[in-house]
Amino acid sequence: MDAWEPWGVGGVPSARELVQDERVITTQAGVGLYDGNTKSATRSCGTAVLTTHRLAYIDARAPHTQSAFVRLAQVRQTEHYAGFLRSSPKVVLTYVCERRVAWTCALCHTVHDAATLDARCRTCGAAAPPADEEESSRACPACTFENHAALTHCEMCEMPLHMARPSVSLKLSFRQGGDTPFYLSLRETIQAHAWTVRAAAPTLGVSVAAVGAAPASGASSEALADLKVLMRRAREMVDMAESLRAQLDRTRGRDDRGHVDTMLQSAMVQLGLEAPAVTPDMVRNEKDYHRALACELASVLLGEHGVLGPGHVVRDGAAPAAEPADTGRGFLALDEVWGLWNRARGVALVPPREMRAAVAFLPQVTCPRVSVRVLRSGWTVLHTPRFEDAALERRVLHYLDDEAVRDVGLTTSELAAHERLAPAVVKSLLENALVP
């Protein structure tokens, strides 16, 4: 990964390890880097550090040899992908690779292998000499004709000219969460060009009390500013999802439906759901809110990629013409569903109380019907009709008839293998279905 420059620090950098006017903005543990499209074997577990000048990776196992950074001034584009199920959230950067030209300080003669972050000598702090002007011409790789630097094709032979500064894609995987606030801080820092801001010179006559209060005041202001940014971005995400859904609905029935559907749905998947996350301000009353939550949960449970299997969301009481086959997983614990759902929603989390109220509407908005029940063990689960008591009893009797031909019985473990469930789950289901 040539874009990453080595940084031999022992952990989160202290003030003496930063350049002039550089400060740490935020950190996030549990981050790994990608080498192209594959996980990096040597930089798979560390801490992402965002400063005003750079985005750094501090390795947890070998910080002095594997830590590295990239310069924010060379980031041209940022993208955020929400994780789903076992896929961790990711931040992708389009990074322009600058030529690392060595230069020597004219004052102390220290040799630098590349431009420093603050354009100053690392030893004496003297300003670096101005960089050479950009190339005025670009040689054709085929006929060697010198073309103007702004041209993309050779004037003589029409051969495509390579860009002087190639770009690469850098990918960070957030395996312990925290990707959304970190990405918002990263984007705000890049948009503000924080590396160009110079701290004001200190004034004389500052009181001791003011010096003591300054760090606390600065930390409070920074925390409040980050919170406001997070709230504003969350609202923008919901508004964007609503706008995309409205555009998708208007294109129904057109010839280009498949192309437009794919484009808009892929944009919504980046937010974690196939539709805008439902919030209380989007509905008229509490009952409508819980019913809307149930419809959203149903879209996570049922469908082509539903965690319970194939199915449909029933809206406004209109059931589909043909009920899909109940062939999926069909059974999941409520607490596991709650975790998957909130992970898909991102920042608009649903508390357990609201989820309890929403699952009561699931039988009305799902096809096949998804029901909630509490087993004798106290375990609350969601299931399709395939795991109702009568259906389970019929399957158990069928399994026993097959085993009777061989004059053998059927153990709980064997039944669990037939049903593709854990033995403890099968035992709880049998207690509810067969024990009066």
Residue-wise pLDDT for 110-130, tens only, equals 776 666 666 677 677 677 766
Secondary structure tally for the chain: helices H, strands E: 11, 18
Which two three-digit tokens encode residue 161? 């000219």
Residue holding tokens 């500013």? 225
The model's confidence at residue 270, banded by pLDDT at 50, 70 and 90, is very low
Secondary structure E strands in 10-104: 24-35, 38-39, 46-51, 54-59, 68-71, 75-81, 90-96, 103-104
Q: Which of 23-32, 121-130, 148-157 has the lowest mean pLDDT?
A: 121-130
Residue holding tokens 């970190």? 182
CB-neighbour burial class of residue 75 (10 A; exposed 0-12, middle 13-18, buried 19+)? buried
Which two three-digit tokens encode residue 382? 């969601």
The percentage of residues in the chain with a pLDDT greater than 70, rounded to a whole number, is 71
The model's confidence at residue 264, banded by pLDDT at 50, 70 and 90, is very low
Which two three-digit tokens encode residue 9? 């620090």
**For domain 1-98+165-196, is the CATH number 3.90.1150.10?**
no
Identify whether the C-beta of residue 148 lies closer than 8 Å to the C-beta of residue 134.
no
Identify whether the C-beta of residue 319 lies closer than 8 Å to the C-beta of residue 333.
no
- Separation between Cα atoms, residue 48 and residue 56, nearest integer Å: 6
Residue from 345, 266, 263, 334 nearest 299 by CA: 345
Q: State which amino acid sits at residue 187.
A: R
Which two three-digit tokens encode residue 230? 């997070």
Q: Give the per-residue pLDDT at 258.
A: 46
The model's confidence at residue 204, banded by pLDDT at 50, 70 and 90, is very low
Residue from 259, 271, 272, 264 nearest 247 by CA: 264
Which two three-digit tokens encode residue 355? 């989820």
Scored b (16 or more CB within 10 A) or e, 352-383 reads: eeebebbbebbeebbbbbbbbeeeeeeeebbb
Looking at the domain covering 280-386, what would its CATH class be? Answer: mainly alpha
Q: What is the pTM of this model?
A: 0.42
Neighbours of 195 (CB within 10 A): 19
Residue holding tokens 């609350």? 380
- Separation between Cα atoms, residue 221 and residue 114, nearest integer Å: 35
Residue from 221, 233, 231 nearest 191 by CA: 233
Phi-psi region of 257 (alpha: psi -120 to 50; beta: other; left: phi over 0): alpha
| Mean per-residue pLDDT over the chain, rounded | 77
Question: pLDDT tens, 359-383?
Answer: 999 998 888 889 999 888 888 999 9
DSSP 290: H
Q: Give the per-residue pLDDT at 133.
A: 42
